[in-house]
């Protein structure tokens, strides 16, 4: 019987406890023939080898974190997501048993100076954004083995894009509540002169609080930018390089112009339109055509896009103002847009509005 490393598969003698290659705790009880033992078993360690370390101190990497403890503090439970430059794990705080999300920079990018500068910037931004409607960064850490990670609250819920795709459209009243929450989070960032720049449905989580009520949480300020950028940030976002998601970019962002809070308001208006209709207000066969439409054309009328939903004219008017190509013509604060939208949406709750909707639904 041999012990096996679950990470690299190397077999060891039955008295070995840790893999000498990557420090992973070995799994016991692996049957091996004498031939296999001769071919695959590593040379027994010399008596001068360093003593085996505890699991909490064993070397770790981005792809073998489950079951590990980061710096004696965060017990990794499971992987919950991954992207091009990071892996996200659910972890429990050993002391408090609170749950956190641990975002780990990939092994290759942890050695990239630009990526590290970006992560430090993300952390410095995120730690200033503590708010119920923002998933903020709590701390930036690095293990002795060079693994770099950030700690965030663990937000459990449904991604807004998934909800819209599942239901087709989000009712007007529910949309107004979500817009209010998103705007509240953005307002905190904007007051600190921080612009999200990549606001989209995929970056909003609909979670349920301890009171049982749903609320929206803005995620991933990884592209967030302080309006007064320093030399380091200017180097990272060189002139001509556009960061963000094309479908929800503002016209000034597409043109590579300076950005402020009003670019997030534009993106929020696009998201609101999509929640209400299941579609975006600028049409095109390709992403490029849709981008050009935002620069040159007017949005498709909300009531023309979904006439059967009988939206109040005031709702369309509020959205059109928030989607003006010129930032000066938009709402200047996120909460200003949210309040105007909520007031317009409230018109649907009037008896006459309800009767018009029921008449269309039931053919009266």
- Work out the number of other CB atoms within 10 angstroms of the CB of residue 262: 24
- Written as six digits, the tokens of 316 are 């369309």
> From CA 85, how far away is CA 83, in angstroms rounded?
6
- Work out the number of other CB atoms within 10 angstroms of the CB of residue 274: 22
14, 93, 112, 198: the active-site residue? 198
Helices 172-191 & 261-277, crossing angle to 10 degrees? 170
- Whether 198 is a known active-site residue: answer yes
> From CA 65, how far away is CA 76, in angstroms rounded?
6
Cβ–Cβ under 8 Å, residues 300 and 277: no
- Written as six digits, the tokens of 96 are 């408090």
Question: What residues are labeled active site?
Answer: 198
């Amino acid at each position: 019987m041999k012990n096996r490393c679950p990470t690299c598969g190397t077999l060891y003698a039955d008295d070995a406890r840790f893999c000498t290659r990557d420090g992973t705790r070995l799994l016991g009880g692996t049957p091996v023939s004498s031939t296999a033992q001769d071919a695959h078993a590593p040379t027994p360690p010399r008596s001068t080898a360093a003593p085996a370390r505890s699991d909490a101190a064993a070397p770790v990497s981005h792809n073998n974190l489950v079951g590990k403890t980061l710096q004696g503090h965060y017990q990794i439970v499971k992987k919950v997501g991954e992207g091009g430059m990071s892996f996200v794990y659910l972890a429990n705080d050993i002391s408090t048993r609170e749950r956190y999300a641990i975002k780990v920079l990939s092994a290759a990018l942890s050695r990239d100076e630009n990526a590290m500068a970006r992560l430090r910037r993300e952390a410095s931004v995120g730690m200033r954004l503590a708010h119920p409607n923002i998933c903020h960064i709590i701390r930036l850490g690095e293990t002795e083995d060079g693994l770099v990670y950030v700690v965030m609250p663990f937000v459990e819920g449904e991604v807004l894009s998934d909800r819209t795709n599942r239901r087709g459209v989000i009712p007007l009243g529910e949309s107004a509540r979500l817009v209010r929450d998103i705007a509240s989070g953005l307002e905190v960032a904007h007051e600190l002169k921080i612009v999200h720049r990549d606001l989209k449905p995929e970056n909003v989580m609909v979670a349920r609080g301890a009171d049982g009520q749903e609320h929206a949480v803005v995620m991933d300020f990884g592209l967030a930018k302080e309006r007064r950028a320093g030399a380091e940030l200017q180097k990272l976002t060189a002139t001509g390089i556009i960061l963000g998601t094309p479908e929800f970019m503002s016209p000034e962002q597409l043109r590579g112009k300076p950005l402020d809070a009003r670019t997030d308001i534009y993106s929020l208006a696009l998201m609101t339109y999509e929640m209400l209709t299941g579609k975006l207000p600028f049409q095109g066969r390709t992403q490029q055509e849709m981008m050009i439409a935002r620069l040159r054309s007017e949005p498709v009328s909300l009531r023309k896009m979904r006439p059967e939903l009988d939206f109040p004219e005031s709702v369309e008017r509020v959205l059109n103002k928030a989607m003006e190509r010129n930032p000066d013509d938009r709402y200047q604060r996120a909460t200003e847009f949210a309040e105007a939208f909520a007031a317009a949406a409230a018109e649907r709750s009037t008896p006459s509005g309800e009767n018009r909707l029921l008449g269309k639904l039931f053919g009266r």
